[in-house]
Structure 1
């Protein structure tokens, strides 16, 4: 039996998945995505992930003949490498770069050119790179390649350096989505020669290095695929035509994508952006850190809520008002608060977190002008009330829930089998019509002003 391995690095967790030729998951391994603080700045535990991954590949090699490995990762992250490896640790994008913001703003392209909103900390990758070039000039001068995070893992596996548009086009300030070319920042900073040739996300870059094949037991001909930004992986299954659905990709970040909608409705102050799809098209998008905000509201002992707890929050006039993550989103800079009677138990805390995430998702979809079908994929598909509550707020639009709680893994598999789409099973959510739910949404919106 042949199979594909997807390395799926999210901001919170790392997953290694073994998927057969029909798109069915055979096995998976998970670990936390830790941020290390033992270096010059908070950085990703790349060596920890690397050795954990190799162990997993060795385990999977006893279960199937692995014919391809596909890296899928979160955005706003890049690696500086020379021929021997990293020249600097890979920064955590939640770390505030130690370079005056005004200095970066002087070279940063206009929003109209990049559709990349100004974001806090290192969420604009260009700011991270400008800081590293200034603060660590010796190490930066040694750098041979700037690799986006998926392509860093592909490079370690096969030794071929590549660039790819989905990570470059993810609020980096490095990419012009309308023209599908590098932005003026790359020229200003002199980074052209450090950015390797662009390849398509589904391209095979090479085969696994012989030493790694020997170490893990993988076939010598195992392909290493270029890889993709995670929310764009989630979008792949739904990009069949011009009238494709809006997609809510849910996880640490909840990202609403509205393929086919115009870019001129995007607003920088609302953290609206144009991502770039794997096929090289600008995709109007909006997001908030929903998974983390849910965890903040649900508390240390999250439990499932029920319709009765949801109704109590609505009847009591308890509102969660953004934001609770401090990392971008349409209400960046606001301190989150709870108005009205506080939840009294874990069920009510979960109910409030659910209501909040539904309202924020509805807000983003409306801001993007998403007026057709909606598909929910990712971790929120495990919440039985999320899609039904959203459907009740959007009459006339179908809200479907995919069968796969990790659309990123599905998208990764698709890259290794380009032209094939695994059988998509989705269910239309029946609206959950709680009393005064629409009025509650309207009152929540009024409180935002």
Structure 2
């Protein structure tokens, strides 16, 4: 029987269960999607009852598999979402959606009571995101839904709730508490004073680091069970486990998020303007992050290109990197320079304002689109790259994962934008689930972490193309 660790990876759309062997290879998996339910205001939300039932029955299923011995169990889930438990430790209320509209009156009351939006954002390293700040959601329930609030004994972030389903232990995890929640005072490394003033700290459960486990028995099987992780933090763990030299990870998807786990300098007002935040990684240390809406902009602009040039929507995937086009754009067309972006917000697309009739070919226009994205990516990544305490950066490598890591034009231009650093496209199978497994590696796996968890492709800066 193969020794394995089971990982529940709960996304808003896909709910997955993986078994990893001791080399962190996936040896079994299943995936399901659930229809959303609605909350007491009629807004879409997770069907918590269905999710809870799926987790317990799925665990029973894999424990009965004849080919595997499950030694440990952990969880990664989407963040910014709280589950509320009543006196009998049963869920009360709803797992409210973090996109749920936030009442203007409650928002105004909060900032009038505890400080300006700018001050609170700076102290908690959290952009003002309303319901996406889970601390504000709990504040809202206290003041907007007092009858529900009176029933709440504990408020658990979703990763800790799914762990609680198995362990029966109430806990708060630093990766959830410390990620744009407005709960954590990064300068004091403790809950912000407003949390205790509102009496919310007593609802949140004891703080735990994400590399801790509980020994429990489930259906007569002894398991070491982790406390669960916020998925953004979990995805960083394979890199922290694999590389000792300081690095920046650019995680690309709808958002391009630059993560520097080696920059502990306090967040500045300017960085907040550029959509920076800090969160706590699985060992409780701060990670500085900057966000760029580049994946979304790319998606919108390739639709525009396809319509203008009468091509297939995915035609951009056939466009090879051509340094001659880049040089031509920079020599003969205004706006090809990397340093034209001066002021926030970085979410404003440069390419959106370009006249497509100025371009002779789709290839030329698409190279300009990526040039414009990299112009903003340079600023966004530089915000977390340097340690502002001394103006220097120990980082020597940039890793890119997600969609843009497979884009040769993006990768070559990124290498040209950071010629002093080594730039790699990185590929990790199921990085979030793998991170949750690696977080508790020492508790279940006597072997060393394999060196080949992450596949890397190096991109050298072109000698003839200095940007």
Please give the range of the TM-score, normalised by the shorter of the 2 chains.
0.7 to 0.9
Aligned residue-pair number? 421
Distance change >3 Å, CA 131–CA 384, structure 1 → 2: same
Alpha-carbon contact 1:107-1:188 (below 8 Å) kept: no
1:367 is the counterpart of 2:383? yes
Return 5+ residue gaps in structure 2 as ranges. 304-311, 337-343, 387-392
| More moved, 20-29 vs 41-50 | 41-50
The residue matched to 2:83 in structure 1 has which SS?
A: strand
Question: 5 Å matches for 1:29-428?
Answer: 29-31=30-32, 36-37=37-38, 39-40=40-41, 41-54=43-56, 56-57=58-59, 60-61=62-63, 62=65, 63-82=67-86, 83-100=88-105, 101-108=107-114, 110-111=119-120, 114-207=123-216, 210=218, 213=219, 220-239=221-240, 243-264=245-266, 266=268, 267-299=271-303, 302=314, 305-308=317-320, 331=345, 338-342=352-356, 358-370=374-386, 371=393, 372-418=396-442, 420-424=448-452, 425-428=454-457
The residue matched to 2:132 in structure 1 has which SS?
A: coil
Q: Which residue of 1 aligns with 2:4?
A: 3
Tell me by how many angstroms 1:186 deviates. Answer: 0.8
For 2:320 and 2:239, how far apart are their aligned partners in 1?
34
The residue matched to 2:433 in structure 1 has which SS?
A: helix
For 1:35 and 1:52, how far apart are their aligned partners in 2?
14
Distance change >3 Å, CA 11–CA 183, structure 1 → 2: same
For 1:348 and 1:84, how far apart are their aligned partners in 2?
60
| More moved, 135-144 vs 85-94 | 85-94
For 1:332 and 1:137, how far apart are their aligned partners in 2?
39
Distance change >3 Å, CA 376–CA 142, structure 1 → 2: same
Tell me by how many angstroms 1:354 deviates. Answer: 5.8
For 2:232 and 2:5, how far apart are their aligned partners in 1?
20
Deviations 1:181-200 (A, max 9, x none): 11112112111211111122
| More moved, 426-435 vs 44-53 | 426-435
Tell me by how many angstroms 1:120 deviates. Answer: 3.1
Distance change >3 Å, CA 254–CA 335, structure 1 → 2: closer
Larger Rg: 2
Distance change >3 Å, CA 334–CA 275, structure 1 → 2: same
Distance change >3 Å, CA 127–CA 429, structure 1 → 2: same
The residue matched to 2:434 in structure 1 has which SS?
A: helix
Distance change >3 Å, CA 431–CA 272, structure 1 → 2: same
For 2:183 and 2:147, how far apart are their aligned partners in 1?
23
| More moved, 405-414 vs 287-296 | 287-296
RMSD of aligned C-alpha atoms? 3.7
Distance change >3 Å, CA 160–CA 375, structure 1 → 2: same
Return 5+ residue gaps in structure 1 as ranges. 214-218, 321-329, 439-449
